[in-house]
């Protein structure tokens, strides 16, 4: 069904707590790739266990992440949606690539430094080699394009280096992937500190709007959003709070910032925040409803997982047998 198309691959950790930043900057736009590309969207449960997980929660969030992808408009008949641990070639190629990734390279990864500072009592080897597994995810499918956030740019660069290194030693084996990093315009900031990016792990819940937040919560959080001591609803320097709200409004409505400024001219900050909150909550309502419907139908989600894993497996197996041959593993003859 997908043959000959170029490949898009992206992974999301099963945290289930994605924000409107993840939605507007990434997931919402993923669907558009499926005309031109064979798209793989993977729930990376193997990456998730680099930090300690409660098993029942990991399992539930894996379902949730899949359901959320679908509720955000990713059609499982047009995209391959699957769970990383269901396709054993990820672990297999991950190990091989560990042997083509340098200690020094891994030591320079800023995410490793951040996460090991946060998890000082559990700096395990998986946390360290995380980027080699991520490279395996990408390279297994001969991926051309990887839509990721700015924070994954360094990992993607490393995946490219690993691919090039392997190709140099063994001849063309992997496609060297490009990143697809959303433009600045799509950057959604924290509602409590609008100079910072909205982060799904922000300890202050008021700073973050999650895709699945209730309408009441969304409105409450927008009402508490930090602004400035002025009274003009315009985009610009020194008005990071108002600028962020205008940007969010513009992303949800498709209106330009200038159109939004005109629309709200003369309005008080309180009413403006309420209007943005209502727009956001109304826009996300069908996503929330579809998510609830999908989560009530586990059997259907399991069918999608099985279908995705089967499709991913077929393609992953092809790359993996090429790799095995090139590095000199013997073939098991039956
Ligand atoms: N590391 C990514 C993150 O934390 C998730 C991820 C794992 C990923 N494998 C990937 C993203 C492959 C893109 C491609 O967000």
Residue 156, Cβ neighbours under 10 Å: how many? 20
Share of the chain above pLDDT 90, in %: 89
Distance 115 CA to ligand 1 centre (A): 15
Q: What is the pLDDT of residue 150?
A: 82
Cβ(44) – ligand 1 distance below 6 Å: yes
Cβ(87) – ligand 1 distance below 6 Å: no
Q: What is the pLDDT of residue 3?
A: 62
Cβ(10) – ligand 1 distance below 6 Å: yes
- Cβ atoms 233, 261 nearer than 8 A: yes
Q: What is the pLDDT of residue 149?
A: 82
Per-block average pLDDT, block size 10, for the chain (334 residues)? 80 88 88 94 97 96 96 96 98 98 98 93 96 98 93 96 98 97 78 94 95 97 96 94 97 96 96 98 97 98 98 98 97 86
**Residue 130 CA: which ligand 1 atom is closest?**
1
pLDDT, one tens digit per residue, over 91-133 is: 999 999 999 999 999 999 999 999 999 889 999 999 999 999 9
Using CB atoms within 10 A of its CB, is residue 92 exposed (0-12), middle (13-18) or buried (19+)? Answer: middle
Strands 37-43 and 6-12, how do they pair? parallel
Q: What is the pLDDT of residue 201?
A: 86
- Cβ atoms 78, 124 nearer than 8 A: no
- The whole-angstrom separation of Cα 184 and Cα 180 is 12
- Cβ atoms 246, 260 nearer than 8 A: yes
Cβ(11) – ligand 1 distance below 6 Å: yes
Cβ(131) – ligand 1 distance below 6 Å: no
Q: What is the pLDDT of residue 181?
A: 84
Q: What DSSP assignment string belongs to 159-220?
A: HHHHHHHHHHHHSS-S---EEE---GGGPPBPSS-TTSB--TT-S-GGG--BTT--HHHHHH
User: In the annotation, is 197 catalytic?
Assistant: yes
Residue 220, Cβ neighbours under 10 Å: how many? 14
Q: Residue whose CA is closest, atom 11 of ligand 1? A: 11
User: In the annotation, is 273 catalytic?
Assistant: no
pLDDT, one tens digit per residue, over 122-181 is: 999 999 999 999 999 999 999 999 998 888 999 999 999 999 999 999 999 999 999 998
Across 247-266, b (16+ Cβ under 10 Å) vs e yields bbbbbbeeeebeebbeebee
**Residue 134 CA: which ligand 1 atom is closest?**
9
Strand order in the sheet with 6-12: 80-83, 37-43, 6-12, 145-147, 178-180
- The whole-angstrom separation of Cα 295 and Cα 292 is 5
The token pair that represents 260 in the structure block: 């939004």
User: In the annotation, is 200 catalytic?
Assistant: yes
Q: Which of 5, 200, 215, 255 is catalytic?
A: 200
Q: Residue whose CA is closest, atom 8 of ligand 1? A: 11
Pocket test for ligand 1, best of 149, 152, 200 (most atoms within 8 A of CB): 152
**Residue 151 CA: which ligand 1 atom is closest?**
15
**Residue 143 CA: which ligand 1 atom is closest?**
14
If you ran DSSP here, which 8-state letter would residue 79 be given?
S
Q: Residue whose CA is closest, atom 6 of ligand 1? A: 11
**Residue 12 CA: which ligand 1 atom is closest?**
5
């Amino acid at each position: 069904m997908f043959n000959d198309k170029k490949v898009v691959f992206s992974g999301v950790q099963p945290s289930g707590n994605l924000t409107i930043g993840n939605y507007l900057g990434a997931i919402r736009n993923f669907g558009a790739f499926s005309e031109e590309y064979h798209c793989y969207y993977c729930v990376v449960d193997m990456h998730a266990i680099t930090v300690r997980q409660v098993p029942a929660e990991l399992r539930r969030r894996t379902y949730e992440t899949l359901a959320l992808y679908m509720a955000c408009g990713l059609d499982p008949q047009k995209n391959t949606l699957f769970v990383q641990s269901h396709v054993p070639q990820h672990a297999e190629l991950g190990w091989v690539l560990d042997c083509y990734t340098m200690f020094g390279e891994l030591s320079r990864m800023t995410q490793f430094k951040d996460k090991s500072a946060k998890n000082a009592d559990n700096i395990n080897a998986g946390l360290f080699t995380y980027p080699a597994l991520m490279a395996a995810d990408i390279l297994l499918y001969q991926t051309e394009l990887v839509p990721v956030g700015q924070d994954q740019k360094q990992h993607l660069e490393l995946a490219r280096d690993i691919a090039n290194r392997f190709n140099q030693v063994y001849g063309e084996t992997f496609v060297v992937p490009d990143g697809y990093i959303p433009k600045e315009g799509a950057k959604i900031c924290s509602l409590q500190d609008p100079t910072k990016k909205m982060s799904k792990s922000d300890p202050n819940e008021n700073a973050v709007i999650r895709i699945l937040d209730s309408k009441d919560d969304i409105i409450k959080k927008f009402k508490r959003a930090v602004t400035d001591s002025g009274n003009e609803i315009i985009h610009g320097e020194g008005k990071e709070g108002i600028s962020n709200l205008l940007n969010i409004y513009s992303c949800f409505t498709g209106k330009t910032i200038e159109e939004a400024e005109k629309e709200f001219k003369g309005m008080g900050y309180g009413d403006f925040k309420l209007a943005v909150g209502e727009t956001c909550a109304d826009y996300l309502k069908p996503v929330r409803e579809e998510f609830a419907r999908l989560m009530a139908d586990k059997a259907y989600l399991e069918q999608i997982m099985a279908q995705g894993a089967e499709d991913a497996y077929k393609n992953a197996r092809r790359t993996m047998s090429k790799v095995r041959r090139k590095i000199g593993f013997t073939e098991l003859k039956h």
